């Protein structure tokens, strides 16, 4: 047998797990809709230059992690490593930002990283992007939207909001100079990765997980000392609005995010329940990005949720993983199956929300009831010779332990509607 396996870091989501994913996706979509956000569906492949220009040519993503290739015309293409650049490209291309827009999307992203729990080379995100509002009340809505999502999924107690302002590009450039001057004096004490970043992307050193580097950073200049007045005022207003809304947060001046397009407020929702992969959601403001892509200057802000990590959180609470049927149809023979087919399809038409499994492949009543019980169904609908002759069905409870009853075909919808609502 040929031993084909999934590509390393690209994981199959199996049938026992997809109900949890569907539950999460459906819940998030419902919350987003309730806040007035509309879905946009974007290509998985974009021009390589789109990401180099927006994310930053010296970021780890562009330098080491993108899946890039040339097509037959010699054009450079890349499997999207994140969603914001493509969403901004679409908004500019289709002139969506002539009025304020609130958008969301869902799908796979690709980065060449070392696979581990909660971090894969093909991973999935829900992204949220809003354009046309430059005031902190948009940032607040995005954060309240996040809280509403976590509450809807039952994981609100497991997530903490970390918040920072990285200021204007000019203020950040001044801070970068101060940080580099400080770290140059301690260069030999930095870990190897931080020494490389010192000349390429020094702000990323603030995210280092190396204990010795983190100890050095305790005496480093503070970012907020370099903030411009507008960023400082916006951040103060943002904090005041969050406090008015009762949303708890922690200011983390080392939080900078890994992408060049951010300015002013940035944030992450983190957890201690997943070990090293503690960031479940991250985002911030990117006011210059639309203009960079050829559109008129338009403020923007957004965030992305890592669905693999969110699924692990939901799983840790035992939520959203149930896959069962309401009804399981058992038939005595081929004649009974023919009789039942049209009746079951009629039942599905009347009650499309019900899950109804028809037994396939024949077998004895005993083997069929074993399958029915394993399905998790509340009731078995049994069609035998007598039921076929009398245009009726035997309804047998599989969970409640009650007595089975015989129900006329024309009364089945009414009877099951009452019983399923009780059970």
**Residue pLDDT, tens place only, 303-322:** 999 999 999 999 999 877 66
CB proximity list for 36: less than 8 A, separation 6 or greater: 102
| 362 lies in the same domain as 236 | no
Give me the half-sphere count of Cα atoms (radius 13 Å) on the Cβ side of residue 152: 17
Residue labelled with tokens 């390429």: 200
Does 4 map to a domain? no
| 382 lies in the same domain as 247 | no
| 286 lies in the same domain as 350 | no
Given pLDDT bands bounded at 50, 70 and 90, which one contains residue 47? very high
| 39 lies in the same domain as 129 | yes
User: Which pLDDT belongs to residue 286?
Assistant: 94
| 114 lies in the same domain as 242 | yes
| 337 lies in the same domain as 291 | no
Q: What is the mean pLDDT of residues 339-366?
A: 94
Pick from 67, 122, 45, 90: nearest CA to 307: 122
- pLDDT above 70: residue 226: yes
Does 64 map to a domain? yes
Residue labelled with tokens 């509340």: 378
Of 289, 316, 343, the residue that ends a domain is 316
DSSP three-state, residue 281: strand
User: Which pLDDT belongs to residue 254?
Assistant: 87
Given pLDDT bands bounded at 50, 70 and 90, which one contains residue 258? low
Please state, in angstroms and rounded to a whole number, the distance separating the CA atoms of residues 54 and 170. 17
Residue 384 is part of a domain; what is its CATH number? 3.40.50.800
| 92 lies in the same domain as 240 | yes
| 337 lies in the same domain as 286 | no
| 51 lies in the same domain as 100 | yes
Pick from 203, 151, 156: nearest CA to 182: 203
Does 179 map to a domain? no
Q: What is the mean pLDDT of residues 215-240?
A: 93
Pick from 34, 43, 58: nearest CA to 144: 34
Question: Contact 164/252 with Cβ under 8 angstroms?
Answer: yes
CA dist list (Å): 40 to 83, 291, 361: 11, 20, 42
Question: Contact 263/169 with Cβ under 8 angstroms?
Answer: yes
- Mean residue pLDDT of the chain comes to 91
Instruction: Locate 153 and state its tokens.
Output: 């999924």
More confident residue, 341 or 210: 341
pTM of the model: 0.86
| Domain span including residue 150 | 18-167+227-316
Pick from 176, 133, 141, 161: nearest CA to 31: 141
Q: What are phi and psi of 348, to 5 degrees?
A: -65, -35
pLDDT of 5-34, one tens digit each? 999 999 999 999 999 999 999 999 999 999
Does 245 map to a domain? yes
pLDDT of 121-137, one tens digit each? 999 999 999 999 999 99
User: Which pLDDT belongs to residue 87?
Assistant: 96
Given pLDDT bands bounded at 50, 70 and 90, which one contains residue 423? low
Question: Contact 381/411 with Cβ under 8 angstroms?
Answer: no
By CB atoms closer than 10 A (0-12, 13-18, 19+), residue 258 is middle
Does 195 map to a domain? no
Instruction: Locate 54 and state its tokens.
Output: 């927006």
């Amino acid at each position: 047998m040929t031993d084909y396996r999934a590509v390393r870091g690209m994981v199959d989501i199996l049938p026992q797990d997809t109900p949890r994913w569907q539950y999460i996706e459906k819940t998030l979509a419902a919350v987003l809709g309730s806040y007035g956000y509309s879905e946009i569906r974007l290509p998985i492949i974009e021009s390589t230059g789109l990401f180099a220009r927006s994310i930053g040519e010296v970021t780890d993503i562009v330098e080491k992690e993108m899946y890039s290739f040339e097509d037959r015309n010699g054009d450079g293409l890349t499997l999207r490593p994140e969603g914001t650049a493509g969403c901004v490209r679409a908004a500019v291309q289709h002139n969506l930002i002539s009025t304020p827009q609130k958008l969301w999307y869902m799908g796979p992203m690709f980065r060449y990283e070392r696979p581990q729990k909660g971090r894969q080379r093909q991973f999935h995100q829900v992204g949220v992007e809003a354009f046309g509002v430059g005031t902190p009340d948009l940032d607040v809505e995005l954060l309240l939207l996040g809280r509403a999502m976590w509450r809807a999924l039952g994981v609100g107690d497991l997530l903490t909001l970390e918040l920072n302002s990285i200021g204007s590009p000019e203020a950040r450039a001044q801070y970068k100079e101060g940080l580099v001057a400080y770290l140059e004096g301690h260069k030999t004490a930095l870990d190897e990765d931080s020494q490389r970043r010192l000349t390429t992307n020094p702000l990323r050193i603030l995210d280092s997980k190396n204990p010795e580097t983190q100890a050095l950073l305790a005496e480093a200049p503070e970012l907020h000392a370099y903030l411009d007045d507008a960023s400082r005022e916006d951040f103060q207003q943002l904090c005041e609005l969050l406090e008015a809304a009762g949303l708890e947060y922690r200011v983390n001046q080392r939080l900078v995010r890994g992408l060049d397009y951010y300015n002013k407020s940035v944030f992450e929702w983190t957890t201690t329940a997943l070990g090293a992969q503690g960031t479940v959601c991250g985002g911030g403001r990117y006011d210059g990005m639309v203009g960079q892509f050829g559109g008129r200057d338009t403020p923007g802000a957004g965030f992305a949720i890592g669905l693999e990590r969110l699924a692990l959180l939901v799983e840790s609470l035992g939520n959203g993983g149930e896959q069962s049927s309401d009804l399981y149809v058992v038939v005595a023979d081929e004649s009974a199956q023919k009789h039942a087919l049209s009746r079951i399809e009629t039942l599905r038409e009347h009650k499309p929300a019900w899950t109804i499994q028809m037994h396939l492949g024949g077998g004895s009543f005993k083997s069929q009831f074993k399958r029915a019980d394993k399905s998790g169904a509340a009731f078995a609908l049994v069609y035998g010779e007598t039921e076929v002759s009398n245009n009726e069905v035997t309804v047998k409870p599989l969970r409640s332990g009650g007595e089975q009853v015989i129900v006329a075909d024309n009364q089945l919808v009414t009877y099951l509607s009452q019983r399923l609502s009780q059970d």
